[in-house]
Amino acid sequence: MSRVATRWMMFGVFSMGSILFEPSSAAAYSSYRTRVPNGTTHSCLTCHVTSGGGAACGSGHSEYPNCLNNFGKAFRSQGFAWTSTLRSLDSDGDGYSNGQELLDPNFNWSQGDANPTPTAYSTLPGFFGGMNECVLDYDWCDNNPVATCTNTSGAYPSFTCTCPSGYSDFFGNGSFCLDINECNSSPCGAGGTCTNTSGSYTCNCFAGYTFSSGTCVDINECASNPCGPQGISCTQGAPPTYTCTCNTGYAFNGTTCVLENACTAGLDDCHRNATCTPIGAGYDCACNSGYTGNGHTIIRGATGCTDINECLSSPCAPGSCRNLSGSYDCSCPSGYLDTGTSCDDINECLTDPCGVGTCTNLGGSYRCTCPRGFEATMGTCVDIDECATDPCGPGTCQQSTPGDYTCACNNGYEPTAEINGRCVDVDECTMPQVSLCATEATCTNTDGSWRCDCNEGYEGDGTSCVDIDECSEAALNECSVHATCTNSAGSFSCACNEGYEGSGITCTDINECSAGNGGCKDTEVCVNVIGATRVCDCAPGFDRPSDDQECASACGNSIRSLGEQCDDGNVDEGDGCNASCQVEPGWVCFELDGGVSECAFTCGDGLINTGEECDNGENNSDTEPDACRTRCVNAHCGDGLLDSGEQCDDGTGNADDRADACRTTCVPAYCGDGFTDTGEECDPGGGTQLDQALCTSRCGENPSGDGGSTPGLEGGGGCGVAYSNRGPDSGSTSWFWAALCLGLMLRRRRR
């Protein structure tokens, strides 16, 4: 048999069984709903998957099993009866038993009973979903005390349990709530005692405290102003106490401020110069000392207080009295004690103010009579410090008996007296055994000591001096390099070497050629040799045939020889080679092949040729200042023209050996040129221009008596030494200028 045929056969059998055993749908549904608790509350959904029940599942009994939910299937398996087994099952798997969802968890319901309540909270046991465990008391929340149950959605358990305030959740799920003993944390504070209660506590507050915000707080008694209108401030004390600071005259009696002293409270009528005395709650007034009256100002018969003038009885004599309001004041003179009511003489001697002296009391004072060595100072006898004025000088002063002192003099000093002397310097230089200066040294006394200095030309420490050989080193003497140094004891001397002359400090070459051509012949020229004898060479234009022959004229022989600049075969002037065979200015001479000299006049061609100092061509001039001259020489002193830098120029009239002449340096005659010019009385010479006063008002009479110059003075000029007859002042001036003139004559010898 095929599988299809078998299926249809089984379907037929099942259908027939259904027809035979199942009641009709309408009859079955109403009967089944009454067989379970709250079955009628939810209609067909209690057992079926749809609200239409079995009729909504289609035709044929074969589809009924698929229309039943899990509870319906279990209900059918129990013979369509509410059984203890069906009650304990959880058909929809949501954690709640079928009995819980249908509100018969303990299997108390029987068919025919009323539905368990509250029916609104029953749920469908065939559909997954939560329940309100809190309402149905399906929760485990603690009931003593009652924990708060809160329903939630979802499967069992769909609720939470919260312990009430004052309890702790022992297991953490609200099933066991344990009372908290709040008193353990001392919530009442120091102001009361704590008593624990179920879920809470109570505070028994002490006096001065009140319960607030769960604790005992101090009551502010000052808030109600207990001190009253005479209170200044209220200060809280230890509860329940407080203190009041009251106005003057009022006191705190433990409750408020009450009157204590009518006087200090300002409730009296006493005069300002009276004293108020409190008497119970009243007072009495009495005028102060120095005043008279009854002291009152308001009450009947009040007279107030009137000042008494005490000075009328002269209480301060011999001092002065000044009346004051209610009193008087004494102004006592020096030496009197102001007792407050009188001036009493002070006997200063009672305190022995004079010390070693004798005290005599006087009216308002005293007198000290002091012994020798003491003086009355600042009201007592004070030892005179004889050392205060430093009487010893360079030494130490020491007081001995009163009025005396001794001197301990420093080294190099000695006292003038054993007592009351002074320290004076000891002249050690008068005691060779003390000074020990060398014989080549000079002893110099100083304050408290002495000094040995080696004499000039010696060296050492003064007690031992040795001669200085100044000639051993050039730095030790001033001899000229052209002089010979000779050492001597303590000194030296300088002598110019042969061929030189001078002081030895300055040595100049002896120029034998300076006078008379040095003794050379007319045909010779004297040639000075530094430090040696002069040499006589042939004069220009002359020649010496041999060393033992005299010089003969060679100029004009057409041969240029020694001393000649040219030789043109003649001795004519103006042809370029003059009579002395020297090239004339403005000319150039030359020899071709060593023969006769040929000369050409080149000055004026604008070129500076050999032998020319300048050449400005046609601008050469002998009449224009500073011009190049027509002989091709520069403008110069002596050309007769006043060129730049010149003060005068008389040409050939310039002279250094004639008074008033323009000098060869082209400066006018001046004081210091060695000649007595117009307006001068003398001239010290020297070649340096001096103050004109040296040649006029400061000149003296010539000691030679010739009334003119003194030719013997080096430099000339006639400077003389003045003999004074003008008094002390002019005499001192004359000696000064005499010394100046003599200084020009003498050469100072120096080491």
Beta-carbon count within 10 A of 301 CB: 6
Dump the DSSP string for 276-330: EEEETTEEEEEEPTTEES--BSSSTT----EE--GGGG-TTTTSEEEEETTEEEE
Strand, helix or coil at 221?
helix
**Cα Rg, the chain, nearest whole Å:** 79
CA–CA distances in Å: residue 311 to residues 8, 273, 308, 336, 641: 162, 19, 9, 18, 117
Which residues does 25 contact at the CB level (< 8 Å), separation at least 6? Answer: 53, 54, 55
Q: Which residue type sits at 208? A: G
Cβ neighbors of 373 (< 8 A, separation 6 or more) are 383, 384, 401, 402, 403, 404
DSSP 333: P
If residue 686 lies in a helix (H) or strand (E), which one and from where to where?
A: none
DSSP 48: B
Return the closest-CA partner of residue 340 out of 327, 351, 350, 352.
327
- Confidence (pLDDT) at 337: 92
10-residue averages of pLDDT along the chain (751 residues): 30 31 43 87 84 66 68 92 93 89 92 89 85 78 82 80 88 86 90 89 90 89 89 88 91 90 89 91 89 87 89 91 91 91 91 93 91 91 91 92 91 91 92 91 93 93 92 90 92 91 90 86 87 83 80 82 83 88 87 85 86 88 92 91 93 90 93 89 85 77 37 40 35 38 35 33
What pLDDT, on a 0 to 100 scale, did the predictor assign at position 698? 64
Residue 415: predicted pLDDT:
94
Full-model pTM: 0.29
pLDDT at 30: 62
